[in-house]
Structure 1
Amino acid sequence: MSFITDKQTLEDMNLTGKYKPGSIFSFFNKVKTAGGERLLEQLFNNPLTDATEINNRSSIFEYFEHKALTFPFGREQFELMENYLSSNAERNLLFAGIGNFKKQVLGSIVRDDQYETLQKGIGATITILKTASRFFKGLEDQSGIDHPYHQQIQIVKGVFNNKQLEWLSKENGTQAIPFFKLTKYDHLLRHTLQRVLAELIGMIYSLDVYIAVANLAHANGFTYASALPRESNFVNAEGLAHPSLSNAVGNNISFRQESNVVFLTGANMAGKSTLMKTFGISLYLAHMGFPIAAKSMTFSVRGGIYSSINVPDNLNMGLSHFYAEVLRVKKVAGEVSTGKDLVVIFDELFKGTNVKDAYDATLAVTAAFSEYTNCCFVISTHIIEVGEALKENEQIQFLYLPTIMEGNKPRYTYSLEKGITTDRQGMIIIENEGILDLL
C-alpha cells in the first residue's frame, strides 16, 4: 500500500524539490553521488506504510550515526566509473578487443580520446571497487553480526568473493593497463559482471544516503521516531521542531483515538502555520524512517497526509480563493469518508469568505471530522468563537500559541498552551506600522 499525499500537501510543507529554496529535500541533500541524489528523491516520493520497514530503516540510519563515517568515494571519480559502466559494451570478447584496438589506433593517429577515456573509466572502476571492498570489510570487522546493516554487508562480501574479481588485488587503478588485460577487464566489468556491479553500485548509493542523512542527524541533534502498527491511532511527540529552523522552539503534541482533533488558535505571527507545517513535515519524515527534529516521537502508521495551508485561487478555471478552499475540503472529506487512516492539516478554514459563513462552515466541518476517530486532524482558525461552540466535543483538544504584550509591542513565545486564545493584536500591528498615519 502506497502512502497517500498530493502536490498541494508537498508544496504546503515545501517537502520535495531539488531546486526549491528551503525545501526539506534540499536540507537533507548532502549526498556525494548523482545516484545517491536520485535515491534520496525516490525515498522522499515514497514514504513507507509498514511499521517494521520504517523501524528497520531508522535503525540503519542510527547505526551509521553512531559510526560517524565519511563517504569514502570522490564524486568526480564516481562519475567516471558511472559513465564508463553505462556506455555500450560488446557482448563478444573478440569484438570487444577489435573495438578497443580501433580506439587505441585512432588515439595514436588523430588524437582521438576514446581509448584514453576507456583507460580512465576502467581505472576509476578498479579504484572504487578496491575502496568498497576495504570499506565494507572494515564495517564487518567492527560490527559483528548483531546490527541492522549486517545483511547488506554480507551481500557486498558475496560480490567480492566472486572468483572473476580475484584480479582486483593485483591492480591499483592508477597505472595504464596493457591492451589485452584492459580488453579482458573491460568485457568482465561491462558485460559478464554487469548485473553484479549494478547491484553493488546501488548499495553504494544507499551507503551515500545513509551516511549523509546520519551525519546531518548527528550535527543537528535529531532523533528517530518509533513506528507502531496502523491499527491504533496514536501520535506522541515531545519537543517537536521545524528541522530547518535554527533555535526553533520545540512543542509537545499528541493524538489518541479518543482525542483525534487539535483545534489551534493564536494571533497572526504567533506561529500557527509553522507549527502545523512542523507537525506535517515530521510525520512525513517519520514515515520515511528519517530522523526528525524532536526529543522523541512514537506514532502509529498512517495511510497518508493531506494539508490545506496555502490554497491558491485559479483564475484560468474561474475559481475564487474561497471556492478553491471549498474544493480542497471536499477532496479531503471524500478521502476521509472512505475509511482511510489519514492525517489532515487545515490552516484557517474558509478564510476566503465572510465571518458568518466561515464560522458556520468551520464549526460544521470540524465537528464532522472529529467523528472519524481513525484519522488525526489539526485545524486552525482566527474565529475563536468556533472553539467555544465545540467545547463539549470530547474528541477535540484545544491548544493555542500565546502572544505577550510588552507595551504596545507583541512578543511571541511559540510554545503551545492548552485552551483557546483571546489574543487580538491585528489593529495593534497595523498601528505600529503607521499605516493610518500615512493615510
Structure 2
Amino acid sequence: MDQSRTEGFDAVDVIRTKRDGGTLSGPQIDWVVDAYTRGVVADEQMSALAMAILLRGMDRDEIARWTRAMIASGERMDFTDLPRPSVDKHSTGGVGDKITLPLAPLVAACGAAVPQLSGRGLGHTGGTLDKLESIPGWQAALDNDRMRQILTDVGAVICAAGTGLAPADRKLYALRDVTGTVEAIPLIASSIMSKKIAEGTGGLVLDVKVGSGAFMKTVEDARTLAGTMVGLGADAGVPTVALLTDMSTPLGLTVGNALEVRESVEVLAGGGPADVVDLTLALAREMLALAGITTDPADALADGRAMDAWKAMVRAQDGDPDAALPTARETHTVLAPADGVLLALDAYAVGVASWRLGAGRARKEDPVQAGAGIELHAKPGATVQGGQPLMTLHTDTPERFARALEALEDAVTVGPEGSRPATGDVVLERVDRPLA
C-alpha cells in the first residue's frame, strides 16, 4: 500500500527530518504518534525515529507537542471534584527506592489526595507495584470508580495505570527498552509527563535520581531532564517541581520487595533509616506546598496518622497490613574485606545483584520473588572490621547466589580509618523553572 496516498505524512520523511537535524512540525508529530499507535507506522520506523531523537534531540516546543500527542492517544482523568486537592509524585527509579510507600499515606494524612499510578520493576530498578504485591491479598488493578472512592475515603491510592491512559506511551516505552533509546531525554520526559498529566493530578513533584544506580548518571543530565519536565508541566497547567536526589548508594538498608515494605512500615512507625525519612519528608513538604497545605508532615509521622492512612490504604486494596510478609528460604552473608571506613557501596551493583537474586525481572513477563533481595548492615561512612557482615543476600533459589556475588565484586570500597566518603545530603538540588 502507498502510505502517502492514505495518510497525511510519510514516516520516512519524518525520520529523515529528524535524522538530518531538522525540527518536526506540530502536524508531523501529531500524525506520527497517532499513526504508530494505530499500527500504520511500523516498529522499525519508530525505532529509527527514536534513535534520531536520541542523537539529534528536540526543542521545547517539539517535546511539548509530542507529549500532548501521547496524552491525546487515550483517556484523561479528572480529580478536580474530589473533596481535597490532588498532588502526585514520580521517581525516575533507583535502588532501594521505596519512598512512594510511606510518602503517599503521609501526604494523605496531611489532607491531600494522592492518585499514585505506579509501575513494575525492570532490570536493576525496583517497581512499586512489585513491592506492594508482597503484602498478602493486595491488589494493583483498580477501575476508575474504585480509585476515586479510595481517594475520597482514604486520600491515597497506589495502583496500576489502566490501559486507556496514554496507550502511545505504553507501546513506545516497550520499543525504547529493546532499541537502546531509553536514555533519550525528550522521550523520557514525554513518557513520564504524558502519563502524569493524563492522570489528572493537580500538582506534581518529581524525584529525579542521579548517580550510578539511576538512569541519569550526572547532575547535568538530571538537571536537563528535570527542567524539561518542569516545563512540560507548566505548559500543561500542572504546577511541577523537581528534586535531584542522590542514587550513588542504595536508599535505606533494604533492596527487594518484601524487605522494602518492612522498612517502609518502620518509617511510618516513626523509625527507619535517616536517608529514607529525610527524602520522604522533603518530597512530602513539596507536595503539600503545591496542594496549598501548611501541615508539617513530620508531625503526621510522629503521631501515628501516617500509619493509620497506610493501613486504611492497604485494606482498601484488599491487602492485610498486619499479615506477616514473605521471607526468602535461603540467605548468604557478604563480609567486609578489611578494617577501615566504608567509602562506597555502589547502587548499580547492589541493584543488579538484587535483580539476579530474583527481586527483579529481565522481561516484563518474568515473575519476581517477594522475599528476594539484599539487607545492608553498613552504609558509607561507617567504620567496619574485616570479617563483619556487610550485607545479607536473600533468595528462594540458592543457585542464584554465585551470579549475585559476581555483580558485587567491585561494589564495596573500604579505606583506611580516618578516610571520609564522598557523601552528603540525599537532596542535591531543587528545580522549579523550565529548562531555558
TM-score interval w.r.t. the shorter chain?
A: under 0.3
TM-score, scaled to structure 1: 0.26
TM-score, scaled to structure 2: 0.26
Larger helix fraction of residues? 1
